[in-house]
A and B are shown apart, each in its own frame.
Chain A
Amino acid sequence: MKTLAIGWVYVLRILREPASLFFFFVFPMLMVFIIGIQFGGQGGRVQLGIAGDTTQSITDKITDNLAANEALELVFYEEQSEMLRAVERGAIAAGAVFPPQMAARIAVGEPVLIGFVSAPTGLGPQLQATVRDALTEVLMPYRAARFAVDILGVGFQDGWSLATTVVPEVELATVNLETVGEALFPPDLGRFDGGAASNLVLFMFLTALTGATAMVTDREMGLDTRIVSTPTSVVRLVSGYVAGQFGVTFFQGVYIMVLSLAIFGVDWKNLGGSVLLMMALSLAGAGAGMLLGSFRLSEAATIGIGVTAGLVMGALGGTMVPLELLPDAIRTVARFTPQGWAMLGFHDLQWDGSLIDIADNLGVLAGMGIVLAAAASLSVRRTLTRPS
């Protein structure tokens, strides 16, 4: 009861403070727009340029396959140089170049090089993976036919008929195998909604950390000391703060998620799982925020450290550049950040993961929250009654 009372007063203060209200409602609203415009249904699709010899039946198959991806819009170019300029200008995200006579060259076992260009930043790497997936699928029977030619010593035509009768059965397995290892998004993902989750995770944790300022204000007002003068333990006090900040952060998360869905049609895939992840992340964030608040720093220092830590941890946790694109070392470090665990959880959900798949993420995040809150309690107990 006392914990809830302390938590409720924590929330009430924010609701009644005009400056805090801005951060509480308007800031997340900005997030909704940022996320919505980038990842919402009305947002533009990612444009992929296609150039080179596109008159071949094999290239038709590849472009059909790519066009099936709703997130992509294909733009065909007569001239390869024209497409290169478009990539340079940022008019399109990336481009692929098909050489002539691909099928014939595959038939005689000559290597076929498909060109891929993208700007160094942006969606290039994701698109490259998407194109590779499409190629893998289309080229599968050709490769199988080559295999038959090499092993059985038959001609390409015989190999081809052999391959096309056999492949439909192995195809699925083979393609899926490659997809899991290499592709960055599920083939059916409508929008690049992983980005929406990363914005959400970054924002939620950052604001939870800056919530530490509420503890700083309480300390300056002598309210924490006054609570401890009643039959209320420090653990209760800190639990109350954590509960309050948890409520604030979780509410903001749900608010962003619901509004971005309602206004912009952002696809969060698994709403239930996402809400659970946000809950666990809110707990971890609240624990971290209250630990920061227990350090008895000034308000300015608390905000400074909170924002810096939120951004650095956010970057390490893969909220700025997807974890899949980061070096192994950082991927390891990400496992020590709440953001990293949240991102991996959202990633699982996007891959049609179930609640069981994110159980570890939920557990680790909640565990982090509890450990951080316990650390905050110890820190408050030490500093509150022993001012230096």
Chain B
Amino acid sequence: MISPLSSLSSRESPPVLRVEDLRKSYGEIKAVTGISFEIAPGENYGLLGPNGAGKTTAIQMIAGVLAADGGRVTVCGQELTTGTTTVKSHIGWVPQEIALYDRLSARENLAFFGRMQGLSGKPLATRVSEVLELTGLVDRAGDKTIKFSGGMRRRLNIGIGLLHQPDLLILDEPTVGVDIQSRTRILDQVAEMTSLGMAVLYTTHYIEEVERLCQRVGIIDHGVLIAEGTRAELVKTVGERDRVTIAADGQINAGVGQITALDGVHEAGATTDGIQMLVDDAAHLLPRIIESLTRSGVTVTGVEVEEPNLEAVFLHLTGRALRD
């Protein structure tokens, strides 16, 4: 998924978005405490964090709809604040909460927000048709959105952000509350946008989405950007070990003793219904591990291997699971 060539070339051009030391408190709550990052043209950047991490707060400041307490947002080389207007045309912000006119049709919603983006006449009509096509809403274009399903509303919500072909598309948890099909469709759309050269800032608390879509990832927790890099770079910080969980009965402690002695097995320990360990290369070592266990009187009933992923990175960095 990550094309080294494109990321190389994109690193060389000036960033579409530069965020410097962005801060925001709500009274006592420090929602965002000094985050900084950059997004290159055509790059898909994932902002990953649990509920309440400060993703929406950060994104609203970046989109210029929430006044920051401090810091600086630069879009395509121009500073963006809540008071600026023209720079905002470079951005397509898709809010986490669906924002559509209930009593207007999909087409009317698109046309209205297209006008707000400064489009009109034929270009507007063309873009409205294209976006209806892209979001799969052509058949329902004339229906009032109040009659739409959640997934259709989500898609239109995203479509509005795409209308004016922004340099930077900002998506705030665009797949929350939609079924698998809609979700796949949305992810495909986003991937397509990136392939067309649009930079994307994508927030989510779904690891799979980030792993599938994003070239670079920032992990945010309690308003702080605690790690940043490509997936490979981040995973390296927790080591390249696989987590192996074995469901077993019998001489568990003896088994643990046996496998600890094996080369490439680390931190083996008994759990309530089996054994857990970190393994340098599970695919290679697993037969020997099971053999050792069987020999020491352990009955293996199940094996689960987790390759290192961003979840593990988050766990490693915060001591908490991303979703709990």
Contacts and interface: CB of A to CB of B under 8 A. Distances in A.
Given A1-B120, A229-B93, A231-B85, A222 B115 contact: no
Interface in B57-85: 60, 63-67, 82, 85
Nearest to A8: B112
Contact of B101 (A223, A233, A384): A223
Contacts, number: 79
Interface in A1-43: 1-2, 5, 9, 12-13, 16-17
B103 A16 contact: yes
Contact of A9 (B66, B101, B118): B101
A386 interface: yes
Interface residues of A, number: 25
Contacts of A228: 64-65, 82
Given A13-B101, A223-B99, A5 B65 contact: no
A223 B101 CA distance: 8
A221 interface: yes
Name the interface size band of chain B: 35 or more
A230 B103 contact: no
A244 B118 CA distance: 20
A55 interface: no
A231 B26 CA distance: 26
A9 B46 CA distance: 35
Contacts of A232: 85, 116
Interface string A202-233: 00000000000000000001110111111111
A81 interface: no
Contacts of B148: none
Contacts of B113: 226-227, 230
A2 to B, nearest CB: 6
Nearest to A233: B85
B86 interface: yes
Contacts of B120: 1
A198 B27 CA distance: 48
Contacts of B101: 9, 13, 221, 223
B233 interface: no
B117 interface: yes
Most buried by B among A12, A230, A385: A230
Contacts of A9: 101, 104, 112
Contacts of A16: 103-104, 144
Contacts of B88: 229-231
Contact of B103 (A12, A384, A386): A12
Interface of A: 1-2, 5, 9, 12-13, 16-17, 221-223, 225-233, 384-388
